[in-house]
């Protein structure tokens, strides 16, 4: 069985793991998607449902992933093989690890396309940081020019892939932990400064009401599914990244306590993002229902173009987005890299091979904006189809399998030993959530992804 130290290295402290796991969870979806989904699904009522979803699904599943990772001290694939053997279960449970790694690479392939846009905008705003004229005078034209240029999209896509490989290749402490120790505090600092600016717009109260005032008349079955989906995907569950990170957690660290801190930080980032974005949306009479790329890459630059120090604000905002995306892509690549290192490859070669593979697969997503824009797979363009396979199908199935393995299959002594610091009552509650509640709710997310109900 695994010793107390992973061959890949260890986090130098509990803080190192927390920062890395927060970085894994916090991504582009926290910055814009949470605010939009909240506003469209009952404001404060949705936030309450979301918090309940985090507690009933997100937290117990995160504990399960980290628990499995620390119990095995290897890559997700080999950890699951060893723990299944010790639990006298089928080695086929290692398919959870394989599924997580494959889903992660598929997500990485298109995530870096969108993340590359944040780098492009960062450079544009940096070049005009102190200029008297707006960095982007016509955001609609600027965004259209970027997304219609195959060469620009490919360039920024592969720049982001290379940045991700560069961190993972340097290892756990010198690469991942060193990067997140800089990025995550910087991310929070920038986000808080943007919220403070939002307070000066005169529309902060309106934004708070819009986002958080409960309207229970808007809460429907689809609202519940939206909250579950947001909780599940926002916390980066089901892709084995947290399992890989769990392998580097010290033995004496409390997994439930650390998982609680991570869930709270991830939710905090989402709420702060709403408080930073929507005061600007109202202050400059923008459409609050503009979602996705339109909100971040068109509507907000319109606001930056009209405000004092808009270029500086725009630079800070897109640096924030880039850091959020980068910290997420690092965790996605780590699980597969750890497995190849255990197979005898150097970490540099392993990270480069997997990152390069994701980069090549991502060319299809790049071209879905340009020369392959008419190509359809199951009535979706290439990027949306890849997202559907990875996010809507593979991640919920992976999460369901992780909950089942942790709650039912893993030998009781292995399971209880990893949670030795909590009471029998707390342990029983966690096990019940893993065995019964989380699987049912995850199945709802999966059914929604298949379009079985609205």
In a domain, 8, yes or no: no
27 by Cβ neighbours in 10 Å (0-12 / 13-18 / 19+) ranks as buried
How far does CA 240 lie from the centroid of its chain? 12
Residue 77, in any domain of the structure: yes
Total length of the chain: 454
Where residue 330 falls (left for φ over 0; alpha for ψ -120 to 50; beta otherwise) is: alpha
- 384 contacts: CB under 8 Å, gap ≥ 6: 368
Question: For the segment 345-374, what is each residue's pLDDT rounded down to a tens digit?
Answer: 999 999 999 999 999 999 999 999 999 999
At 289 the pLDDT is 63
Residue pair 45/224 in contact by the 8 Å Cβ criterion: no
DSSP letter for 372, please: T
pLDDT at position 453 over 70: no
Residue 202 located in a structural domain: yes
At 26-85, the pLDDT tens digits run 888 788 778 777 877 777 888 888 888 899 999 999 999 999 999 999 999 999 999 999
Mean pLDDT, residues 175-190 taken together: 90
Collapsing DSSP to helix, strand or coil, 389 comes out as helix
Residue 279 per-residue DSSP state: H
257 Cβ contact partners less than 8 Å away, ≥ 6 residues apart = 421
Tell me whether residue 9 is in a domain: no
Residue 213 has pLDDT above 90, yes or no: no
Most confident range, picked from 126-135, 207-216, 359-368: 359-368
* 3 lies in some domain: no
pLDDT of 43 reads: 77
- Mean local confidence (pLDDT), 207-229: 81
377 in helix, strand or coil? strand
448 pLDDT higher than 50: yes
Give residue 246's pLDDT: 92
Please list the residues that pair with 380 across neighbouring strands: 377
Q: What is the CATH number of the domain that holds 102?
A: 1.10.4160
The reported pLDDT for the residue numbered 260 is 94
Question: How far is Cα 69 from Cα 245, in angstroms, rounded to an integer?
Answer: 7
Q: What is the dihedral of CA 45, 51, 56, 61, to 10 degrees?
A: 140
Query: Is the pLDDT score of 252 beyond 80?
Result: yes
pLDDT at 291: 53
Give the three-state DSSP class for 380. strand
Q: Is the dihedral of CA 189, 26, 203, 51 positive or negative?
A: negative
Q: Quick one: tokens of 326?
A: 């980068």
Mean pLDDT of 294-302: 84
Residue 373 included in any domain: yes
- pLDDT of 7 above 80: no
Q: What is the pLDDT of residue 3?
A: 52
Q: Determine the pLDDT at residue 1.
A: 44
Please name which of 266, 204, 364 lies closest in space to residue 29, comparing C-alpha atoms: 266
Domain-embedded: residue 350? yes
Number of domains in the chain: 1
Instruction: Give the range of the structural domain holding residue 194, as residue numbers without chain letter.
Output: 14-449
Q: What is the pLDDT of residue 293?
A: 67
Is there a domain that residue 5 lies in? no
For position 31, what pLDDT does the model report? 81
Distance CA 80, CA 125 (A): 46
The closest of 72, 170, 98, 58 to 335, measured between CA atoms, is: 98
Give the tokens for residue 122. 């960062």
Average pLDDT, the chain: 89
């Amino acid at each position: 069985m695994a010793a107390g130290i992973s061959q890949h290295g260890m986090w130098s402290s509990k803080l190192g793991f927390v920062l890395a796991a927060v970085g894994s969870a916090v991504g582009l979806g926290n910055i814009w998607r949470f605010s939009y989904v909240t506003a469209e699904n009952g404001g404060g009522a949705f936030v309450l449902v979301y918090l309940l979803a985090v507690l009933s699904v997100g937290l117990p599943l995160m504990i399960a992933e980290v628990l499995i990772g620390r119990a095995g001290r290897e890559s997700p694939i080999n950890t699951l093989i060893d723990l299944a053997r010790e639990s006298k279960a089928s080695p086929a449970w290692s398919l959870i690890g394989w599924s997580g790694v494959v889903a992660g690479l598929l997500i990485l392939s298109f995530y870096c396309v969108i993340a590359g846009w944040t780098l492009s905008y960062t450079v544009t705003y940096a070049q005009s940081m102190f200029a008297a004229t707006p960095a982007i005078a016509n955001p609609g034209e600027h965004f259209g020019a970027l997304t219609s240029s195959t060469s620009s999209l490919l360039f920024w896509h592969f720049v982001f892939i290379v940045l991700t490989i560069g961190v993972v290749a340097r290892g756990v402490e010198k690469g991942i932990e060193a990067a997140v120790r800089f990025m995550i505090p910087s991310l929070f600092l920038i986000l808080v400064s943007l919220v403070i600016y939002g307070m000066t717009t005169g529309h902060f109260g309106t934004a708070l009401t819009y986002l958080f005032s409960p309207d229970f008349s808007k809460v429907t079955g689809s609202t519940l599914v939206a909250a579950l989906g947001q909780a599940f995907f926002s916390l980066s569950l089901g892709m084995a990244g947290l399992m890989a990170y769990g392998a580097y957690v010290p033995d004496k660290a409390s997994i439930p306590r650390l998982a609680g801190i991570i869930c709270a930080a991830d939710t905090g980032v989402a709420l702060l993002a709403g408080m930073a974005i929507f005061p600007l949306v109202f202050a400059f009479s923008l459409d609050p229902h503009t979602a996705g790329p339109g909100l971040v890459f068109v509507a907000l630059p319109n606001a930056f173009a009209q405000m004092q120090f808009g270029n500086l604000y725009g630079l800070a905002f897109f640096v924030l987005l880039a850091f959020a995306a980068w910290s997420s892509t690092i965790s996605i690549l780590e699980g597969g890299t750890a497995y190849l290192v255990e197979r005898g490859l150097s970490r540099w070669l392993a990270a480069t091979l997997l990152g390069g593979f994701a980069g090549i697969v991502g060319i299809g997503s790049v071209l879905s904006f340009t020369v392959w824009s008419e190509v359809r797979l199951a009535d979706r363009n290439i990027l949306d189809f890849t997202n559907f396979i990875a996010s809507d199908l593979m991640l919920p199935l992976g999460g369901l399998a992780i909950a089942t393995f942790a709650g039912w299959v893993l030998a009781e002594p292995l399971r209880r030993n990893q949670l030795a610091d909590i009471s029998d009552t707390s342990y029983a509650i966690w096990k019940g959530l893993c065995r019964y509640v989380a699987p049912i709710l995850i199945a709802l997310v999966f059914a929604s992804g298949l379009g079985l109900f609205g």
